[in-house]
Structure 1
């Protein structure tokens, strides 16, 4: 979904007045433009009042600014809202869903993974596929697949699971649960009683777990999360109630002006959007 474009500083025409309020706050008033901007922390946000699909909006932001907006704090939320005081609809931000490249292991210690091990995958043909709506967690299939491959499932499903319990003489130790839980509950159980849900770093470890599970499909520690367009790893979330949504297909995030909350929308929908640039000014406001 990434679009490579060169970045440059947009022209600033129609500059009317600059007023220094104090050392922390600068107001600039501009007329005749179709965007507004606010600073928070080190990010400068621009509201672009042109309706585009998410990928086209990303392309414009990367061409004219830095990228679609990354929002990492409640201060950022407020700064985004201040860019369009008269707009009450939704606008794209940089958070998006990626079916193939956004999978992560519950155990996120980078020292645990050797070269290529974090990205080892053993998907069943046709998976991942979001077959029944967003399927953000992964099971190892035993019942219907003798090769013990993986597929994506809804995290609310209840099943047995495998925990990682450290190493014994250099060999990873795995424990099969004797209870069935949803993925989040399984993660909590493994972290409380062992180390974490099982990471599978290679085919040897896949075979070790396969030998444990007999005929039970089990949760493993792989899950999918949305990504920021600029690669930020910020865990901050500001979803509206009931969001992210349950519609099938890849979804992108839009912020709603007024509440500042985030909503899943089809990435092909046309909406205005928020771009950002880096800034050395702590706070800034500019209005059309």
Structure 2
């Protein structure tokens, strides 16, 4: 391929890349808050810092049914100074821009400290205890005609904040919103004072950042009595936070920072070279969330400004990120930017953290983004070598000249491909194959009604064979070829008459090795009273026992996408097929393979139960028409895995999610063939 083809190919993959500037990790070990903090600082960056509701949703996504709560990185300073904050993320409270009523704030509540803000009808502020029910003012950033709302339903301050966040954006926050004419009209029509988004506390983040986002449970008491406590997120309460004694032992959440402040003074080009040599690139800022994360970092800089990856392309007459990202979000100071040659963008380290145009030769601190590979090549970055004839520099010049307006995907492409030999480029391309139509086999729906044997003969004559289904991706492809008048169709699976039962793992791609088993004494015994024992449970010691598949037990799921918590004990009794279906829908599959079953994390999970649990081991006499040994099965939940299925065939039922049903092979049905795009040549 030419470079242009490689880049064009990879551009299509960009939407699958996670561009967050920080990553969360759930750690399933019980530790005190201080022990958890130490663990996170040693193995990651720190205990998690939560900056907005998007972060809260990310936290919820890493939870599952058996995770109830976890430490986060917020703690209450003993005898700490209370600080005023705005509820709406992204606004900083300025002591010189306030509208307090005379003699306010007083902090003289008769039920404790006055830590919340309230406004009179004339929009003058006073402090008040947060537990008093009052009217409140919401802000809705998505409503272009009616951004401000007075809610005449009395709630505590925390309840009001929760209501505004769930139904709008947040409580009204900041001087600009409070001085809006629309707000004045609302309060003139009110018969009572109302809460707005001002509060104070002495809770602080473990990493030292000054983010003031809070997500407390609705009955949280924001008073000084919380001194010396720590916060946890409670997943079964919408991940709201609860204050706890810091000595309690709980799981916890760490984060990895993907940006780094370099406190060395370099010109813009020197900074760019340093970031590319030691990390990834000078940082790119694409939205307000990125801006807020970066401005926290630059507060620790030793220069008044910090270089970003923003540069003025004189020949093209516009500003551009070095990542080639379009400048869609801007935070320029007034009168900036001034177009000129040899200038780049820098963020001020104090004040409003605005962007300024600075001469490229100025020597400043700078922010780098860290390496992030969307595909795991299994090769350390330091072992990747540059492509002959130009490498990274030539590649950057190539896309900067020919493709100046493409998206951030170009940067990620170049950082991968510019370091690879051709063999590695091909390996990288292979890894992307799942995102495009480069399957090694193709499916064909045949609407003629035939019995299974006739369908098999037709497929072998005109294609390769009746379809073989290897995994859930294949099932989704089968479902896509169905429409309203396609209810079901034969597939290539049949049950051998008097066939030998064979053990398989539920998770595709794993083969059972008879020499690597862990059966309990005298197992498998196939001793079911109601038929053959074709499924497997494990006891507390993870010894295997064969059992009837329709019996109901707890079960063990495996989740390949959760790097910190792969194994899940589901304490809900289901049949083996119901358990398999649950795991495939919510995780990856039932736990399968001796490697997973010998994992230390699983052993710790099993110490928490005395009940037996299903694993992903089963046996049957079903075989594929093309003679392949794929173990994937997708039966309906009523399927009965017994020898009495002997001599039957399988069809996929489209209006049941493509699940399979066993039928007499003489029934006449439509069917699905496949074409194989590979052929083995048996010649030397």
**TM-score, normalised with respect to structure 1:** 0.45
Structure of larger gyration radius: 2
**Higher percent of residues as strand:** 1
Higher relative contact order (CA 8 A, sep 6+): 1
